[in-house]
Amino acid sequence: MSAPARVLVVDDSPTMRGLITAVLSSDPEVNVIGQAGDALEAREAIKRLNPDVVTLDIEMPNMNGLDFLEKIMTLRPMPVIMVSTMTHRGAEASLAALEIGAFDCVGKPAPGELRPFGDLAEKVKAAARTQRQFSHPVAAPTPPPAVADFRVGRKIVAIGSSTGGVEALIAVLQKFPANCPPTVITQHMPPTFTKSFAERLNRLCAPVVQEATDGARLEIGKIYLAPGGERHLQVSNASAPCCRLVDRAPVNGHRPSVDVLFDSVAELAGRNAVGVILTGMGRDGAAGLLKMRHAGARTLGQNEKTCVVYGMPRVAHELGAVEQQLPLSAIGEEILKMTAARKEGTE
């Protein structure tokens, strides 16, 4: 058995520090080695204790969590999990933290919540195991291919991601031109975060990016992000493909689930689809990607070296669901090659 993950808890609220400590201490594979109430205390604690992982409150006195995170990533890169309020402002700050280099984000619990902080302990353990270098934020947007250089075919693109997916999706989608193939995405994310993330992607990318709505038609030049929370994203209607948000129990512990999305794309589009599985904990999406490949779709997986967590892509690769494993920097361009119209017509 490996040594427990050593964690420093940073939050200006003694109550919140106590709650986080209690949740993490209930897992025998996690050891909370210290607490800090602000960035100054945290800086000294990091020097003294050398933790494997830090949980960091976004809103703190003296220096806010985002500013402190930037200093950590510049001076002493290490896995940091942000703790945020589940508000629009909190979502915006969390997404900024993920782009700076945070490992993941969790929401502060609502009053009376039965299972506060959900899978925080699992995220801490995954963060402690990773060998990723936490010193490279997302690159600035690069100009997308000119519309004249890309002739879109008839394929649908489906992408699944989890931990590390914010950076990964930005890297992939920034390669897409304004006339990209219709693209549907399930990213594991708290409910209040997905709308802000869609808006952020829309600002950073050439195509239109929006949170998926029930019945929305799949159109060239549009990307649809599954809303977090109560429903799964599927695609349906072969004659006029559209998004469907369906009420259903969580799958693989997630709602929305990547497997649910991939299953529906396999059934609807078959060989006229491309499936992509990116960084993430667990196995969600692996079985669905295999179903897509068996239906004739092209399939891609992010390689281990460029994953924040090589979980979902690893399981998909081991199942034989992945046609090609590629570094993150190559995935966007490969999707375009697979979905481009042929010179004599369209695919």
> Catalytic one among 161, 162, 196, 257?
162
The per-residue pLDDT for 109 is 84
| Closest among 249, 257, 146 to 206, alpha carbons compared | 146
Compute the distance between CA of residue 202 and CA of residue 190 in angstroms, rounded to an integer. 19
The per-residue pLDDT for 230 is 85
The b-or-e profile of 255-288 (16+ CB within 10 A means b, else e) is: bbbbbbbbbbbbebbeebbbbbbbbbbbbbbbbb
> Catalytic one among 11, 57, 263, 284?
284
The per-residue pLDDT for 343 is 59
Long-range contact set of residues 340-345: C-beta below 8 Å, sequence gap at least 24: 340/150, 340/151, 340/152, 340/153, 341/151, 341/152, 341/153, 341/154, 342/153
The per-residue pLDDT for 138 is 47
Task: Note if the pTM is more than 0.75.
Answer: yes
The per-residue pLDDT for 147 is 47
| Residues whose CB falls within 8 Å of the CB of residue 343, separated by 6 or more in sequence, listed in order | none
H-only helix segments in the chain: 14-25, 39-49, 65-75, 88-100, 120-129, 165-173, 191-204, 258-269, 286-294, 312-319, 328-339
The SS3 call for residue 221 is: coil
Compute the distance between CA of residue 186 and CA of residue 260 in angstroms, rounded to an integer. 9
Compute the distance between CA of residue 165 and CA of residue 307 in angstroms, rounded to an integer. 9
Report, as ranges of residue numbers, the positions in the chain whose pLDDT lies below 50: 135-140, 146-148, 344-346
Compute the distance between CA of residue 221 and CA of residue 288 in angstroms, rounded to an integer. 25
φ/ψ (deg, to 5) at 81: -110, 120
Let me know if 254 is a catalytic residue. Answer: no
The per-residue pLDDT for 192 is 83
Are the C-beta atoms of residues 181 and 208 closer than 8 Å to each other?
no
Let me know if 188 is a catalytic residue. Answer: yes
Let me know if 162 is a catalytic residue. Answer: yes
Beta bridge partners of 54: 8, 80
Question: In the 3-class helix/strand/coil scheme, how is 312-334 assigned residue by residue?
Answer: HHHHHHHHCCCCEEECHHHHHHH
Alpha-carbon distance values, 344 to 43, 145, 232, 337 (Å): 62, 21, 38, 15
> Catalytic one among 11, 104, 188, 232?
188
Are the C-beta atoms of residues 212 and 246 closer than 8 Å to each other?
no
Could you report the per-residue pLDDT of 243-293, keeping only the tens digit for each?
A: 999 999 999 999 999 999 999 999 999 999 999 999 999 999 999 999 999
Beta strand pairing status for 5-10 and 183-187?
Answer: unpaired
The per-residue pLDDT for 91 is 86
Tokens of 64: 């806010």
| Closest among 264, 251, 164, 279 to 224, alpha carbons compared | 264
